[in-house]
Structure 1
Amino acid sequence: MSFTIAIRGLDAVSAQLNTISNNIANADTVGYKSGRENFSALYVNGAGNGVLDQGTQQSLGTNGAVVSGSSSLDLAISGKGFFVLQDTSGSQKFSRAGYVQVDKDGFLVNNSGLQYKGYPANVTTGPVSPIRVPQTRDNGSLSGINLDEKGNVQATYTNGQTETIGQVALASFANMDQLQPEDGTVWRATQASGAPQFGIAQTGVLGSLHNGSLESSNVDLTSELVSLMSAQRNYQANTKVISTDSSMFTALFQAI
């Protein structure tokens, strides 16, 4: 019995150590949300029989600090909103890492090439679609792009014209904790999370935008190191149980 309990304990602590290590490794990753391993007690016929690993839960509701971005186009969210992105297959993704640049086709994209979705100029409801900046306007060529703190995309042309192209959309969820992570900074909606509710910055729970800024990781290194030491002690305790059981069985077999 004790051997089985210790094995379950080792499995659970190993998963916890992996999660903590991943948090520490991503302490400087923009838009990363720290994870926590969840456990439940296991009972058999009313008697304790160790623990079970219930998987990792990311702290999606905890914001990281707002820091200076690498580009004047970068955006950070203060609130519960997510940027709405689209990959090359048309699948919808959500992120808090607000790297913004313009690709060769004029689309607003993040550092992984995912396209930002938003609303056309002067429209703040309805469906969202990828934001594309026209490269020319009335014989003028694109000379600059600016994003303000409401997510408005403004393009400037060599003929002196300035035009608002669209507005970056944000999304919220009824149960954001049930979003499915694709990596540390990109998620997709699930049935449990509920369908995304689209809107713009400074409305509802979506929060506000900070232009020229990024949201840093919300990992607390001090807490992670404390958790790491605790997990290591638990791992050693479980290995000690296994070692003791092994010694007892060896002695028993030798006596027989």
Structure 2
Amino acid sequence: MLGHTTRSLFHVREYAMSSIINAVHTAVSGLNAQSHAFTDLSNNIANSQTTGYKASTTSFEDYVTNNELANDGESRSDSVSATTRQHTDNQGMVTTSTNSTALAISGNGFFNVVQATGQSNDSTPVLGTQQYYTRNGDFSQDKNGYLVNTSGYYLEGYNVDATSGTLGTSLSAIQVPSTIAFRPTESTKLTVTGTLDSSTAAGATLSPSMSTTAYDSTGAASTVDLSWTKVDDTTWTISNVNDPSNAATVKFDSSTGAVSSVTPLNSTGTSGTTSSSTSFEYTGSPQDMTVSLSGITQGTSTDATAPTMTSDSVTTFSGISMETDGSVMATFDNGYSQLVAKIPLTTFADPNSLSAQNGQAYTATSQSGSPQINAVNTNGAGILTTGSIEESTTDLTGDLSKLIVAQQAYGANTKVVSTADQLLQTTLAMIQ
């Protein structure tokens, strides 16, 4: 009888120890799970001001294992696991930026970007082949003219061929260097600047003549030459060197030296109707154009500068602008702009399954599906807002509240471990 009692007591103690160990195991898994939640929440809070950041959440799930507490073939949960859930499909608030080249996506698309893997001897970046995707559209030009976001990723798009002017069909990093050449448009205006010398003898013609290059509608270049001939103290004649009959008399104000009137001359050299405008109508090759004379004056020999002439088709680069359709435009000092690249947006069947990388970037996975490249505002890719950024999707107030709950849960699991330790010490004492 005594032996039976001893065996029963042994089984009770064994059962108790097993239960206590299971309780410790469960509590430890709870501590790990809440630590995981702490990490996710702290990451969201830390990135509450990060452009294009997508906040994540923590999902908890129970594990069912075979343990001695199971009865009649049933199993009970004795641990918990936590996993991070991405929400890259959540839309962040679009806000205005002081950066004119910043872009914000409203929709499901991502920018196509690459990283630099090094630098060449001339300090230009060597770009990698790994394709990345991001919602961080805070792009600015670097010293080489590349569009780079605040995380160091280079924006890709379809670049315009500098020679043919046609849009490419494969993605490459967008670069708009300051040396970019303006593809000539049809010239419509010639501008003359300078100061004519009032001491020039009457009847004298200035040499050399003013010369510039103008372009027709096909982009073919022609040279335009105009000359100045002194008539009297306040009057000059401007004429087409290749067609002297195409001429006008230009009168200057004796006080200010500014152009006061322009009178066209007909083929016989007879004056036509005097005009108060400051322009001369050029006729000839490559087409008829207006010559602006508002920049020409007459002054003393001390003030005199050789008159020059420029075409509105000859200009210098002044900057870039971004358009809502994804066009990247090079702007020039003549007021014209031209397309240099087109930005597409990429979508995925399951964007929440993308693999997160450093700097608010992602890579495709088998679960996310293959990348689908779309034009802006097609197939759900979304629209672009220029001069704007997409803010972080972190709910700061909500995450701080969740952080308090996670802290309480962590403390409760710590209490379970402490209590189980006390029970284990009591049980061991009973065995002894």
TM-score scaled to structure 1, two decimals?
A: 0.93
Residues 81-101 of structure 1: CA deviation (Å, up to 9, x unaligned) = 111101122211111111111
The one-letter amino acid paired with 1:49 is: D
Which SS does the other structure have where 2:36 is aligned? helix
Cα RMSD of the aligned pairs, angstroms, is 2.0
What does residue 37 of structure 1 align with? 58
Q: Distance in 2 between matches of 1:224 and 1:49?
A: 28
Q: Tell me: CA distance 1:190–1:248, structure 2 relative to 1, closer, same or farther (3 Å).
A: same
8 Å CA contact retained: 2:65, 2:77: yes
* Residue 61 (1) aligns with residue 89 (2): yes
> Who wins on radius of gyration, i.e. which is larger?
2
2:167–2:341 contact (8 Å) kept in structure 1: no
CA-to-partner distance for each residue in 1:200-248, whole Å, 9 max, x for gaps? 2111111111000000001111211221111111111110100001111
Q: Does 1:187 align with 2:348?
A: no
Structure 2 contact 151–359 (Cα < 8 Å) conserved:
no
Structure with the bigger RCO (C-alpha within 8 Å, sep 6+) is 1
Q: Does 1:137 align with 2:181?
A: yes
2:316 is paired with a residue whose SS is strand
1:34 & 1:239 partners in 2: Cα distance?
Answer: 28
* Residues 66-75 or 133-142, more deviating: 133-142
Q: Which amino acid aligns with 2:53?
A: Y
Alignment of 1:231-242 (within 5 A): 231-242=406-417
Deviation track 1:64-120 (CA, whole Å, cap 9, x = no partner) reads: 111111301100000111111011222111111111111222222212332111123
Structure 1 range deviating more: 58-67 or 134-143: 134-143
* Alpha-carbon distance in structure 2 between the residues aligned to 1:145 and 1:81: 23
**Matching residue of 2:100:** 72
CA contact (8 A) 1:83 1:171 kept: yes
Contact 1:124 1:200 in 2 (8 A): no
Structure 2's unaligned 5+ residue stretches are 1-21, 67-74, 117-127, 183-313
Partner of 1:33, secondary structure, is: coil
Which residue in 1 is equivalent to 2:157?
118
Q: State the one-letter code of the partner of 2:132.
A: K
Partner in structure 1 of residue 423 of structure 2: 248
Number of the residue aligned with 1:81:
109
- After superposition, the Cα gap between the structure-2 partners of 1:158 and 1:124, relative to the gap in structure 1 and judged at 3 Å, is closer
The CA deviation string for residues 37-61 of structure 1, in whole angstroms up to 9 with x for no partner, is 22221001321112122x2122111
Is residue 73–residue 147 contact of structure 1 (8 Å, CA) maintained in 2? yes
**Contact kept? 1:124, 1:199, Cα under 8 Å:** no
Question: Scaled by the length of structure 2, what TM-score is found?
Answer: 0.56
Normalized per residue, the structure richer in helix is: 1
2:246 aligns with none
Larger mean CA deviation between 221-230 and 76-85 belongs to 221-230
